[in-house]
Amino acid sequence: MPTTSSTSSRYSGTAIALHWLIAVLILGGFLVGLYMTGLKLSPDKLKLYAWHKWSGMTVLALALLRIVWRSTHPAPSPLPGQPRWQLLAAQAAHLALYLLILAIPLSGWLYSSASGYPVVYFGIKALQLPDLVDKNKELAKTLKEVHELLNWTMAALVTVHAAAALKHQLIDRDGTLSRMLPWLRRDPAA
């Protein structure tokens, strides 16, 4: 039975697992992306680029799954007593995060296509993804800049998201964070 906002004060186990799995993959992909761009061309750099692409495509697939899950399993209702501006800010931030979780892997895939380097998922030739655009050096340059800008935007938004979660946990002590952390079982409605 789907979790609805009226029957639970916590996110479902599936929603929690998808949230944290995507978060770990995004963080890993971001850190590898920062590291690999500073390397000289080598077999190790090429391996890191491949891992970075695999990570991004996995994030894209999990994000689509998460969106399907969320459409059939609504988020719990907001906790009582939160100011309207905070609720609106949280909704806007979550929407922006969902858009970025989709846009960043897609921009990377487009960049890879325009650069002439196909995405071969986990190095399995049968899992080579189709190029989304033809090879085009100028387009690749633009898409690289878009991909980087989207990633830095995500980093800033995730920082604000984490700071807000910590504020709720450490200052407000309202149980908001316990709704998304599997090891915190405190019922925030209690």
- Report pLDDT digits (tens) over 19-59: 999 999 999 999 999 999 989 999 999 999 999 999 999 99
Instruction: Assess if residue 6 is contained within a domain.
Output: no
Q: Are 106 and 60 in contact (CB under 8 A)?
A: yes
Question: Could you tell me if residue 187 is inside a domain?
Answer: no
Band (pLDDT 50/70/90 cuts) for residue 190 is: very low
Q: How far apart are CA 48 and CA 96, in angstroms?
A: 28
Report the pLDDT averaged over residues 132-144: 97
End-to-end CA distance of the chain: give it in Å, rounded.
23
How far apart CA 36 and CA 31 sit, in angstroms, is 9
Q: Is residue 112 situated within a structural domain?
A: yes
pTM for this prediction: 0.87
Per-residue burial over 141-153, b if 16 or more Cβ lie within 10 Å, else e, is eebbebbeebbee
pLDDT at position 185: 57
pLDDT exceeds cutoff 50 at 61: yes
pLDDT > 70 fraction of the chain, expressed in percent and rounded: 92
Number of structural domains (the chain) is: 1
pLDDT band at 91 (very low <50, low <70, confident <90, very high): very high
Q: Is residue 138 part of a domain?
A: yes
Q: Which domain holds residue 68?
A: 13-76+87-179
How far from 148 is each of 26, 33, 120, 143, 145, CA to CA, in Å? 13, 9, 21, 8, 5
Residue 9's pLDDT band, with cuts at 50, 70 and 90, is confident
Answer yes or no: is 2 within a domain: no
Dig out the tokens for 81 from the structure: 């007593």
Tell me whether residue 188 is in a domain.
Answer: no
- In a domain, residue 190? The reply is no
Average pLDDT over residues 83-101: 94
Bridge partners, 128 (sequence order): 120
**What CATH number did the domain enclosing 67 receive?**
1.20.950.20
Residue 114 within a domain: yes
